[in-house]
Amino acid sequence: MMTTLAGPLPKLVVFDLDYTLWPLWVDTHIDPPLKRRGTTLNEMVDRSGQRLSFYADVPSILFDLRRAGVPIAAASRTSAPRIARQALQGLWIVDSAVGEAAQPVPAHDLFVHQEIYPGSKVSHFRRIADATGVEFADMLFFDDEHRNAEVQSKLGVHFVEVGTQGLDRATFQRGLEAWQKKRRTNAKST
């Protein structure tokens, strides 16, 4: 489903990975190595047959952002960064809005920057800001863990907690609209 993103848009959207973009923790649920089966899209399988794929709405959200010219980054505190990167390389997705002409791409190619290692999300975001030049107030962040809301209180990154269903279209839209509202409010007060 293609959605046209309207209104002011963040200069960078950042996503956590585990239980935000996919329904598991790669450091506890995956028994490496991860492999693709043939040309299967949006799915990898580990040594024991555990499947890894994005939540249903994630590929279209990533491509909507790409079409709108909004860069995407990843911020994950996983203790298995190699597996997380392997997943982003191996999960091939297509822009269904393009139709049959769509060419599969590794999800990794949609991310302009990745901070994937154990540690504070505040540290992740400082490095993301340094690498991209994007100010914290111009970032929108989706994560499943409330403790990571510290990036909002400490840095000013707009934080959106995703529910147990992971990132879906409604949560994404709600987060984008909240960021836009905050942006308008801040513009009026300056």
Q: Where in the sequence numbering do the catalytic residues fall?
A: 16, 18
Q: What is the token pair recorded at 17?
A: 């990975």
User: Helix axis angle, 58-67 relative to 169-189, nearest 10°?
Assistant: 40
- Fill in the DSSP letter of residue 164: T
**Which long-range CB contacts under 8 A does 131-138 form with residues at least 24 apart?**
132/12, 132/71, 132/73, 134/11, 134/12, 134/71, 135/11, 137/183, 137/186, 138/10, 138/11, 138/12
- As beta bridge partners, residue 172 has none
Q: Rounded to whole angstroms, how far apart are CA atoms 170 and 42?
A: 21
Q: Rounded to whole angstroms, how far apart are CA atoms 18 and 4?
A: 26
